[in-house]
Amino acid sequence: MERPLTGNMKPDRQPLTLKEYEEVGGYQAVHKALRMAPPDIVDAVKNSNLRGRGGAGFPTGIKWSFMPMGSDVPRPKYLICNADEMEPGTFKDRLLLEGNPHQLLEGMIVSAYALNVDIAYIFLRWEYRLAAERIERAIAEAYENYYLGKNILRSDYSLELRLHVSAGRYICGEETALLNALEGKRAIPRAKPPHPQVSGLWGKPTIVNNTETLCNIPHIITKGVEWYKGLSHTKDGGTKIYGMSGKVKRPGAWELPMGTSMKELLEVHAGGMKEGYQFRGILPGGASTDFLVEEHLDVPMDYDSVQKAGSRMGTGQMIVLDHKTCPVGMALNLERFFARESCGLCTPCREGLPWIAMILQAIEEGEGQPGDVEILEQQCRLLGPGNTFCALAPGAVEPLQSALKYFREDFERGISGRRNARGKRAHDNSWRRFTLTTNPTK
């Protein structure tokens, strides 16, 4: 089984130096790409069926084809690597950033060349300090070896690439909020249209791609489209880094063919449930996806199949719910996170999510009231796609709406006078103390 993304990583988790990377075939894609016409690279990516690994699964080649090309387009054009990996339960990009930063740089250089980009940024999550160090070192090495800067490898093509470490909020991972953050503005999303390809960073044409997406690019170029498509079990090309956390025997992340089933992931790669724990449900693609349950375990993990099953593949990083963990508490934990990470721009997200979190907390404390579950259901519907400014709130209510569907009795148990899932009854009014953070002006 080929593992192009992670196969070359060292067992001791030290990053590959530029030299080591070149020895295992690294940067060949840059040499090859510079001899290709940029539209041919875009076509190759289009044909490879590579879909964006950030969560939405939008075909990368199609996204690229919206980039205005030619001599009369506004300059500079930008390419941005979205490395603001902050989805709860997700750590696949970290693996790539820490283990082999040169692979990302190579992917970015090839992509930037294909898109005729002048300046590229890596927008990195604030907490990824080790990755930041390693990327910095890799960028310096790449500049020294003429993979970056003026006239890359004596070609006509020049590219500046910089690392930007985010000030740190979940919303910065939303591509337009990322652009605002990178500009030094409040990290609030922008309305689309106009799409970043038309008016992105500083109002100039911009492509934002996820780390894992960009890491795929060199392999498509060096080894070809057919080889790449062959890696996958399904029509989406390539491999995928899947991850799993929860009460499983071996939580972790593994590069596997696209379309590996959840069952295989759980039983083979994660080693099955821990002793004494039973499988109850799973968030297949990170915290902002719908729960799936036992009956769905045979679903292949690719974008369309998971969608058909009623959830989203998202980042492919799964969180397993066991029978001893209260789904109300899990939902509360997630909704509190999303409520805190709301940027505060649009009303439904800013006000709706804290309300949801407060109700969940009351239910968790056994202080829920009749009608609470119905309010939660209504809120999940009202915070759906299109009603809010960006995808944060619709994603945030996905685990809740499906939890209400599959584990409704756990919620109803928390309505006044009844006991919660852990069997204890809370007497305190801790929901009254519910605050997300302290108001700086208070």
Partner 1 sequence: MATIYIDNKPYEVKDGQNLLQACLFLGFNIPYFCWHPAMHSVGACRQCAVKQFRDEKDTRGKIVMSCMTPAADGARISIDDPEVKEFRASVIEWLMLNHPHDCPVCDEGGECHLQDMTVMTGHSYRRTRFRKRTHRNQCLGPFLNHEMNRCIQCYRCVRFYCDYAGGRDLNVFGSHHHVYFGRYEDGILENEFSGNLVEVCPTGVFTDKTLKKHYTRKWDLQTAPSVCVHCGLGCNTIPGERYGKLRRILNRYNGEVNGYFLCDRGRFGYEFVNSKERIREPLIRNKDNGALEPASEERVLGHLSNILYFGAKVIGIGSPRASLEANFALRTLVGPERFFPGISEKEHQLTSAAIEILRKGPARTPSLRDVALSDAVFILGEDVINTAPLLGLALRQSVRQKPMEMVKRLNIPLWDDAAAREVIQHEKGPLFIAATHGTKLDEIAARTYNGSPDDLARLGFAVAHALDPSAPAVPDIGEDLIPLAQSIADSLKSAGSPLIISGMSTGSEAVLHAAATIVWALCRDNGNAALSFVMNECNSIGLGLMSGGSMNGAFDLNKAFDLVEEGKVDAAIVLENDLYRREDREKAERFFERCKHVIVIDHLFNNTAAKAEVVLPAGTFAESDGTLVNNEGRAQRFYQAFVPEGGIQESWRWLRDAMTASRRPVQWQSLDHVLSAMANEMPVFRTVAEIAPPAGFRIAGQKIPRQPHRYSGRTSIHANISVHEQKPPDDSDSALSFSMEGYEGMPPAPFITRFWSPGWNSVQAVNKFHCEVGGPLHGADPGKRLMEPTVSGEISYFQKVPQAFEPRKDELLMVPLHHIFGSEELSVLSPAIAERTPKPYLAISREDAGRLQVDQESELEIVISGRTYRLRGIINPSLPRGVAGLPVLAGLEGITLPAWGRVGRKA
Binding site for partner 1 (CB under 8 A): 74, 169, 186, 190-191, 193-194, 198-199, 202-203, 339-348, 350-355, 358, 369, 371, 375, 378, 382, 386-389, 431-432, 434, 436-437, 439-442
Residue with tokens 């909704």: 335
Q: Which of 32, 82, 88, 89 lies closest to 60, judged by CA?
A: 82
Smallest gap from Cβ 168 to partner 1, in A, equals 12
Judged by CB, which is closer to partner 1: 163, or 179?
A: 179
CB neighbour class for 255 (10 Å; exposed up to 12, middle 13-18, buried from 19) = buried
Smallest gap from Cβ 310 to partner 1, in A, equals 19
In angstroms, the CA 84 to CA 199 distance is 21
Q: Which of 184, 178, 165, 185 lies closest to 206, judged by CA?
A: 178
Judged by CB, which is closer to partner 1: 14, or 378?
A: 378
Smallest gap from Cβ 343 to partner 1, in A, equals 6
The sign of the torsion formed by the CA atoms of 403, 406, 410, 414 equals positive
- Cβ–Cβ under 8 Å, residues 235 and 258: no
User: What's the DSSP call for residue 115?
Assistant: H
Upper half-sphere CA count for residue 189 (Cβ side, 13 Å): 23
The sign of the torsion formed by the CA atoms of 3, 4, 5, 11 equals positive
Judged by CB, which is closer to partner 1: 71, or 441?
A: 441
Judged by CB, which is closer to partner 1: 284, or 414?
A: 414
Alpha helices in 56-146 (DSSP H): 60-65, 92-99, 101-115, 129-144
Smallest gap from Cβ 377 to partner 1, in A, equals 13
Smallest gap from Cβ 341 to partner 1, in A, equals 7
Judged by CB, which is closer to partner 1: 62, or 73?
A: 73
User: What are the φ/ψ torsions at residue 149 (nearest 5 degrees)?
Assistant: 100, -155
Judged by CB, which is closer to partner 1: 63, or 190?
A: 190
Judged by CB, which is closer to partner 1: 11, or 184?
A: 184
Smallest gap from Cβ 374 to partner 1, in A, equals 10
User: What's the DSSP call for residue 259?
Assistant: T
Judged by CB, which is closer to partner 1: 80, or 358?
A: 358
Q: Is 398 helix (H, G, I), strand (E, B) or coil?
A: helix
- Cβ–Cβ under 8 Å, residues 144 and 185: no
Smallest gap from Cβ 201 to partner 1, in A, equals 9
- Cβ–Cβ under 8 Å, residues 335 and 360: yes
User: What are the φ/ψ torsions at residue 20 (nearest 5 degrees)?
Assistant: -60, -40
Smallest gap from Cβ 189 to partner 1, in A, equals 10
In angstroms, the CA 171 to CA 341 distance is 7
Judged by CB, which is closer to partner 1: 68, or 271?
A: 68
Smallest gap from Cβ 381 to partner 1, in A, equals 9
